[in-house]
Chain A
Amino acid sequence: EVQLMESGGGLVQPGGSLRLSCAASGFTFNNFGMNWVRQAPGKGLEWVSYITESGTGIYYADSVKGRFSISRDNGKNSLYLQMNSLRAEDTAVYYCARDGAPGATTFDYWGQGTLVTVSS
């Protein structure tokens, strides 16, 4: 069974940093690209970042470019999101999601999410 479990969320002050983790199990992690997607309270979905299977290809939404950094450790079956210079508008539930639908860059499995709150 495919499982994705996020951790690392919490309350952080504006300008602060946080590192999210996503532990993957139930599939061959290094065969799949991975994503972070977020959802502000009561709002819609926003894609944040993507990393290829090997980690050599990376993309970001303009809203986080230069502040967030995605990475992965295939030996530990883990995905990460380093978030710096956090702003109030970064407050959201952050989901990790697998890019697994055949021939499509989309999200076939999701974790349950971790809440990040940016507030003083």
Chain B
Amino acid sequence: EMFMTQSPATLSASPGERATLSCRASQRISSKLAWFQQKPGQAPRLLIYGASTRATDVPARFSGSGSGTEFTLTISSLQSEDFAVYYCQHYNNWPLTFGGGTKVEIK
């Protein structure tokens, strides 16, 4: 089973700041990685797939990068609506697995 490790567990930042979230896979997964955003009481929302392709209607301030085992989600300038929990997910093989999440909170 592929293990996905996200860091940091919590990121404290102010609106307007840049946020960098990391995700590491236990084995090489090429670019088969997605990122999700989840707000309290809501279903997750797909942000990025293929490590760097933004999903429909996702603002350009969200960008993904990386391949192999190391991946990054960058939010270039945090907006109030971006404070949430973010998950990475691999789809290199079965079973699909998620990272433990990074909570982005207001500093």
Contacts and interface: CB of A to CB of B under 8 A. Distances in A.
A113 B44 CA distance: 10
The size class of the interface chain B forms with chain A is 20 to 34
Interface stretch (B20-28, B59-67, B69-77, B92-100): B92-100
A113 B98 CA distance: 18
A108 interface: yes
Contact of A101 (B44, B49, B94, B101): B49
Nearest to A112: B43
Contacts, number: 67
B11 interface: no
Interface string B8-49: 000000000000000000000000101010100011111001
Contact of A47 (B42, B49, B50, B98): B98
Interface residues of A, number: 23
A59 B56 CA distance: 27
B83 interface: no
Nearest to B1: A62
The main secondary structure of chain B at its interface with chain A is loop
B33 to A, nearest CB: 9
B98 A108 contact: no
B98 A44 contact: yes
A14 interface: no
A61 B89 CA distance: 14
A101 B34 contact: yes
A111 interface: yes
B44 A47 contact: no
A11 interface: no
* Residue of A37, A50, A60 ringed by the most chain B CB atoms within 10 A: A37
B91 A106 contact: yes
Contacts of B87: 44-45
| Top 10 closest pairs, chain A to chain B, by CB | A110-B43, A105-B91, A106-B34, A47-B96, A104-B49, A101-B49, A45-B98, A59-B94, A44-B101, A61-B95
